[in-house]
Chain A
Amino acid sequence: MPSGEPRQAGGSERYLTKISARDLNVFYGEKQALYDVNLDILRNTVTALIGPSGCGKSTFIRCVNRMNDVVVGCRVEGKITLDGDDVYGEEIDVVQLRARIGMVFQKPNPFPKSVYENVAYGPRIHGLASSRAELDEIVMSSLERAGLLAEVKDRLGDSGTSLSGGQQQRLCIARAIAVNPEVILMDEPCSALDPIATAKIEELIETLRRNYTIAIVTHSMQQAARISQRTAFFHLGRVVEVGETAQIFTDPHEPRTRDYVTGRFG
């Protein structure tokens, strides 16, 4: 399969496109960060974005939920759709968009508030709970789904920043899923964590896939191979190749992809 046009759906009909980027060009001031990116992210799938540092992976996912809006001098051309709606369209409300697309960042960044407040904040500002009991329910189930409840249920009043690094990152995931998003974007969520915490997050991602669409930026090839169904390889602001993870790692079509996944450059 030629790589100029990214491969779609891997030939299988069980996939459905959730997010689709077409001819995406992104500039930071004069500098262009993404060149003509065409990429589809499929429903209930983990899509891994790999590539060397500065290749535009993070820029791409930050365009999807428009986090780049707050970056001074950032300009986006092209089109990104979420379920067919233009993310940069006139009728899209950024705040609503970000409620539909949750995000987990590289460095765990819990609010300096209690564990409970961290998770309750999103539902509260979006009015998802009409009573305290309902809010409690959302917080508990979010912590449960993030695999954190057992560890923190006796210390919901403690500050979120008092947790360990891995727990903080799972708290951030709980916070993201508490607003019931459709998509979760993860920007190197394990880069600041030890292997045990990483394993827990990876398990979590696997279970989350059933309900959410996940795009994850990672520098670890093993991680991409372990957790993702599809992988996109970015290089110098372009998508070099995208396809089934197994195919990308075992039978890449592009020489650059092969060099990267085999560790010949990085």
Chain B
Amino acid sequence: MTELRNPEAEATRGRLRRRYRAERRFRAYGAAAIGVALLALAGLLTSVVLGALPAFWQHEVRLPVHFDRALLDPDGRGAAALPDANYAAVLKQALRERFPEYAGRSEQRQLSALLSMQAPFDVRERLLAEPAKLGRSEELRLLLSDEADLFLKSQDGEGAGAGLSEVQQSVLEAWLAEGRIELVFAWRFLRSGDSREPELAGVWGAVVGSFLTLAITLALSFPVGAAAALYLEEFAAKGRLTDWIEININNLAAVPSIVFGLLGLALFLNLFGLPRSAPLVGGMVLALMTLPTVIIAGRAAIRSVPPSIREAALGVGASPLQVALQHVLPLALPGLLTGTILGMARALGETAPLLMIGMVAFIVDVPRSVSDPATVLPVQIFLWADAPERAFMAKTSAAILVLLGFLVSMNLLAILLRNRFERRW
């Protein structure tokens, strides 16, 4: 039997082999595509993380400081003199005592430049906390300037000390030899706002700005988007007008974001007179930008609710509004939320429309409310990437890392919400 049908069986086997080969080939292509994507992601992450790591560590020097009465309180006013005493002089004296060999004016200035601009303020704070220390000595940890910090970080690498004089380099090396230099975690980077001094600049102002902006965006785009999607799908009479509206919503989703910035500038700032550089306006502009995405995702989610659920509710005598709010909306919620959070994630990374409404300004203070001037993470990254100081390079990468963290936590939230609300039918 088999021998008789051999030619045919041979052909069948050949076809089967070809089919399996085609499938194996296709799988290989797929695996290769995923591999490329993973490699790109890994490359991106490693370069960002490696670039960002230095920004999370700072060098400090342990320096014995004498709170000299003659310098701080020359008129003998006691504690009353402390708030506006000359602390820079105290530091200068401490440096002079340790390195008497560098007595020249220029050399002394170079010594002072090794410490951060913040150092005198830290001394002041220390003394204000314990005024009894006046007239005594204490070993203080003082933040080094960005140039000194970079020099120490690139000790073993090349290009070390590009911005430092020989005097400064020898001082740092002396400190290193004495074990006075310490590497500490840069809490300042996570806790403070922007600064002209790289060693003082932090990302917290931008994080709060981004958070406030996104809160406004969410508060506006989710309810408006959900209501629009629900109305268009459940109530609006299908016809030429709804078709026209649908086309326009789809077009809006593709409009370049800077156009929304122009709209915000013309409408919110010039016409309504809302505050410039504020998260309020930024959030409104981003809400306009996010709205089409939310509506489109919402409509898709609503359309995917099985008609049998609507029939069931209508069948027991629910009104169309009850059907929409009590049955369709809860079932469409996971999709609606996913769409909203994807739109928000896009809004989080948006710079262009915010430039138009002045959120590109250099802002030192952490915003307290939605009408305070603020900046957001992507704009902060843009500003730092543009800054001439070399130390801002690491800050840029670190801010990107913070932005990625923000993004990942938002997506996690989206997944959690979806799983929480997801129901099967």
Which residues of A are interface residues toward B (Cβ below 8 A)? 65, 67, 70, 72, 95-99, 102-105, 107, 109-112, 121-122, 125-126, 159, 161, 172, 175-176, 178-179
Against A, the Cβ 8 Å flags (1 = close, 0 = not) of B297-341 are 000000000101111111111110010001100010000000000
Q: How far is the CB of A119 from chain B (nearest CB, A)?
A: 10
Nearest-neighbor residue (CB-CB) of A98 within chain B: B317
Chain B residues with Cβ below 8 Å from A105 are 308, 311-312, 315
Give A176 to B322 CA distance when docked, in angstroms.
17
Neighbour of A111 across the interface among B312, B314, B322, B424, CB < 8 A: B312
Known contacts A95-B319, A96-B317; A109/B424 CB under 8 A: no
Contact between B327 and A125 (Cβ–Cβ < 8 Å)? no
B425 at the interface (CB under 8 A from A): yes
Give A7 to B316 CA distance when docked, in angstroms.
31
Contact between A102 and B423 (Cβ–Cβ < 8 Å)? no
B238 at the interface (CB under 8 A from A): yes
Contact between B318 and A95 (Cβ–Cβ < 8 Å)? yes
User: Which of A102, A121, A178 has the largest number of chain B CB atoms within 10 A?
Assistant: A121
Known contacts A105-B308, A107-B308; A67/B314 CB under 8 A: yes
Q: How far is the CB of A160 from chain B (nearest CB, A)?
A: 9
Contact between A98 and B316 (Cβ–Cβ < 8 Å)? yes
Give A176 to B319 CA distance when docked, in angstroms.
16
Q: How far is the CB of B103 from chain A (nearest CB, A)?
A: 83
Contact between B317 and A99 (Cβ–Cβ < 8 Å)? yes
Nearest-neighbor residue (CB-CB) of A161 within chain B: B425
Contact between A122 and B308 (Cβ–Cβ < 8 Å)? no
Give A112 to B425 CA distance when docked, in angstroms.
6
Against A, the Cβ 8 Å flags (1 = close, 0 = not) of B68-94 are 000000000000000000000000000
Chain B residues with Cβ below 8 Å from A112 are 309, 331, 423-425
Nearest-neighbor residue (CB-CB) of A112 within chain B: B423
Q: How far is the CB of B231 from chain A (nearest CB, A)?
A: 16
Give A65 to B309 CA distance when docked, in angstroms.
17
Residues B23-46 near A (CB distance < 8 A): none
Describe B's contact surface by its main secondary structure. Answer: helix
Contact between A109 and B317 (Cβ–Cβ < 8 Å)? no
4 more contacts with CB within 8 A, not counting A70-B310, A103-B311, A111-B312, are A98-B315, A110-B312, A161-B425, A178-B316
Chain A residues with Cβ below 8 Å from B331 are 112
Give me 20 A-to-B residue pairs in the complex whose CB atoms sit less than 8 angstroms apart, sorted by A's number: A67-B314, A67-B315, A72-B238, A95-B318, A102-B316, A104-B315, A109-B308, A109-B425, A110-B312, A112-B331, A112-B424, A112-B425, A121-B326, A125-B317, A159-B424, A161-B423, A161-B424, A161-B425, A175-B312, A176-B315
Chain A residues with Cβ below 8 Å from B424 are 112, 159, 161
Q: How far is the CB of B400 from chain A (nearest CB, A)?
A: 42
Q: How far is the CB of B37 from chain A (nearest CB, A)?
A: 35
Give A96 to B306 CA distance when docked, in angstroms.
24
Known contacts A109-B309, A112-B424, A112-B425; A103/B315 CB under 8 A: yes
Give 5 nearest A-B pairs by CB, closest first.
Answer: A99-B317, A109-B308, A122-B316, A103-B315, A98-B317
Contact between A179 and B423 (Cβ–Cβ < 8 Å)? no
Contact between B308 and A179 (Cβ–Cβ < 8 Å)? no
Residues B372-424 near A (CB distance < 8 A): 423-424
Q: How far is the CB of B341 from chain A (nearest CB, A)?
A: 22
Q: How far is the CB of A85 from chain B (nearest CB, A)?
A: 16
Give A109 to B317 CA distance when docked, in angstroms.
15
Known contacts A109-B308, A111-B309, A161-B424; A102/B315 CB under 8 A: yes
Give A175 to B322 CA distance when docked, in angstroms.
16
Chain B residues with Cβ below 8 Å from A126 are 317
Chain A residues with Cβ below 8 Å from B310 are 70
Q: How far is the CB of B315 from chain A (nearest CB, A)?
A: 4
Known contacts A98-B317, A102-B316; A109/B327 CB under 8 A: no
Nearest-neighbor residue (CB-CB) of B238 within chain A: A72
Give A172 to B260 CA distance when docked, in angstroms.
50
Contact between A175 and B309 (Cβ–Cβ < 8 Å)? no
Contact between A175 and B316 (Cβ–Cβ < 8 Å)? yes
Give A102 to B309 CA distance when docked, in angstroms.
15
Q: How far is the CB of A186 from chain B (nearest CB, A)?
A: 11
Give A98 to B316 CA distance when docked, in angstroms.
6
Contact between B311 and A109 (Cβ–Cβ < 8 Å)? yes
Give A109 to B322 CA distance when docked, in angstroms.
17
Nearest-neighbor residue (CB-CB) of A109 within chain B: B308
Give A97 to B316 CA distance when docked, in angstroms.
10
Give A104 to B425 CA distance when docked, in angstroms.
17
Give A179 to B424 CA distance when docked, in angstroms.
25
Q: How far is the CB of A161 from chain B (nearest CB, A)?
A: 6
Chain A residues with Cβ below 8 Å from B309 are 109, 111-112
Give A126 to B424 CA distance when docked, in angstroms.
27
User: Which of A70, A110, A159, A179 has the largest number of chain B CB atoms within 10 A?
Assistant: A70
Known contacts A72-B238, A105-B308, A125-B322; A111/B313 CB under 8 A: yes
Give A98 to B312 CA distance when docked, in angstroms.
11
Neighbour of A99 across the interface among B316, B326, B425, CB < 8 A: B316
